[in-house]
Copies of this chain bind each other. A is one copy, B any other.
Amino acid sequence: MINKKVANVEEALKGVTDNITCMVGGFGLSGIPENAIAQLVKLGIKGLTCISNNAGVDDFGLGLLLQKHQIKKMISSYVGENDEFERQMLSGELDVELIPQGTLAERCRAAQAGFPAIYTPAGYGTEVAEGKETREFDGKMYVLEHAFKADFAFVKAWKGDAAGNLIFKGTARNFNPVMCGAAKITVAEVEELVPLGTLDPNQIHIPGIFVQRIFQGNHYEKRIEQRTVRQRN
């Protein structure tokens, strides 16, 4: 077993510098690497390019980095729900590249799997395809989209072991698995780091080979963005 365990978030983020490109897992506020984001804030890393489906809310998730002007560019599919984001985008402080959600997922997966580019139908005929190569296959048009290149991927899982194996929970899985191994260094934080041999080899969502560093995170808030409930009869 190749040991990926590091003692804490400080050790997990060693080597992170200004101006890196990082992938950040999560959908909305679900499954975001809360500890890694807090540490990026603490370290005062500047000039980040973040590849992440969303940009958090004003006071949580990537919003914490936006508050401190640590993000230079966001590559996302949906960035609503964030006033500070809006302000920085409109003022030109923040560069924003919006791409279709499936394209975002697959450009990560391409990096993970060693594909240089993919052909997707998403965005054909729209401004998303402007300046990009397009091509017809079987009468349908596709856009050539390139694999992402990132320095770090920060992901969050439910359980993990020292070998770097990960299991996600519910819809907190989302972009986390496709970002593992899609950057030079993948840092996984887990709610519970379980003893080696505890996880069923048949039920591992991401094998440890895609993860370089793993640590047990602390104090997960797991904030709910839209609390919707129904009444009991």
Binding site for B on A (CB under 8 A): 114-121, 137-138, 140, 142, 146, 167-170, 201-203
A141 to B168, CA, bound (A): 35
Q: Out of B119, B169, B201, B203, name the residue touching A116 (CB < 8 Å).
A: B119
A19 to B137, CA, bound (A): 24
Say whether A202 contacts B116, CB under 8 Å.
no
Q: Out of B121, B146, B167, name the residue touching A114 (CB < 8 Å).
A: B121
Say whether A115 contacts B118, CB under 8 Å.
yes
Say whether A202 contacts B115, CB under 8 Å.
no
Contacts of A142 in B (CB 8 A): 116
- 10 additional contacts, CB 8 Å, given A116-B137, A167-B202? A115-B120, A116-B138, A116-B140, A116-B142, A117-B119, A118-B118, A137-B146, A168-B202, A169-B202, A170-B201
A115 to B145, CA, bound (A): 12
> For residue A201, which residue of chain B has the nearest CB?
B170
Q: List 14 A-B contacts (CB under 8 A).
A: A114-B121, A115-B118, A115-B119, A115-B120, A116-B138, A116-B140, A116-B142, A117-B119, A118-B118, A137-B146, A167-B202, A170-B201, A170-B202, A203-B203
A228 to B182, CA, bound (A): 36
Contacts of A118 in B (CB 8 A): 115, 118
Contacts of A138 in B (CB 8 A): 116
Q: How far is the CB of A73 from chain B (nearest CB, A)?
A: 21
Provided the pairs A170-B202, A202-B169, A203-B203 are in contact, do residues A137 and B117 lie with their beta carbons within 8 angstroms? yes
A137 to B118, CA, bound (A): 12
A220 to B105, CA, bound (A): 38
Q: How far is the CB of A214 from chain B (nearest CB, A)?
A: 19
Q: How far is the CB of A27 from chain B (nearest CB, A)?
A: 16
